[in-house]
Amino acid sequence: MLRKFLSLATLVLGFASTPLSASSFNCDFRYRNCTLSCNDDATCWDQCRVEFEQCSAQPVPGQNFIDPTVDGERVDLCLEWAAQCGKPAADAFCRQSGFRRSTSFSVAENIGRTRLITGAICNDWFCDGFKNIQCL
């Protein structure tokens, strides 16, 4: 019974402080369902743990860039001066970072100094950039 409590405590505490990706949420859900049927069977608990570790080790496709930067400057919202803003700039950032395209992004308005993917700098209070860019 103590083993079950410790495993559950580790599971709850281990995930409470970190955001869950869709992949890790799925692994967490599968682990909980697995352990529900174990009762006090140590072999069953060990098998659930092994399955959970294998599931968690699978790479999550893509990457989410928070406050993305280019050469140390926040990425500007536009690919060119006041043109091709949003998705085209996010896609270019993802390609430059080794990914195919962006799948989502959010805007950070009036953040000040930003850098366009082309290298040009926007250095005024009204320059917009990205809060995040999700690349795939």
Q: Is there a single domain that holds both residue 30 and residue 74?
A: no
The model's pLDDT over 109-119, given as tens digits with 9 standing for 90+, comes to 999 999 999 99
Q: Is there a single domain that holds both residue 96 and residue 81?
A: yes
How many CB atoms sit inside 10 A of residue 46's CB?
Answer: 12
Q: Rounded CA gap, 120 and 71, in Å?
A: 11
Q: How many domains does the chain have?
A: 2
Looking at residue 17, what is its pLDDT?
31
Q: Is there a single domain that holds both residue 72 and residue 129?
A: yes
Q: What is the mean pLDDT of residues 76-89?
A: 96
State the chain's mean pLDDT as an integer.
Answer: 79
Final residue of a structural domain among 56, 73, 99: 56
Final residue of a structural domain among 56, 77, 92: 56
Q: Is there a single domain that holds both residue 71 and residue 122?
A: yes
Q: Is there a single domain that holds both residue 71 and residue 113?
A: yes
Q: Which domain holds residue 28?
A: 2-56
Q: Is there a single domain that holds both residue 91 and residue 109?
A: yes
Q: Is there a single domain that holds both residue 23 and residue 67?
A: no
Q: Rounded CA gap, 118 and 110, in Å?
A: 20
Crossing angle, helix 2-16 and helix 22-36, to 10 degrees?
A: 170
The strand pair at 78-80 and 63-66 is best described as unpaired
> Is pTM, for the whole model, over 0.75?
no
Looking at residue 43, what is its pLDDT?
85
The model's pLDDT over 5-45, given as tens digits with 9 standing for 90+, comes to 334 333 333 333 333 344 445 666 677 777 777 777 888 87
Q: What are phi and psi of 100, to 5 degrees?
A: -80, -45
Q: Is there a single domain that holds both residue 70 and residue 131?
A: yes
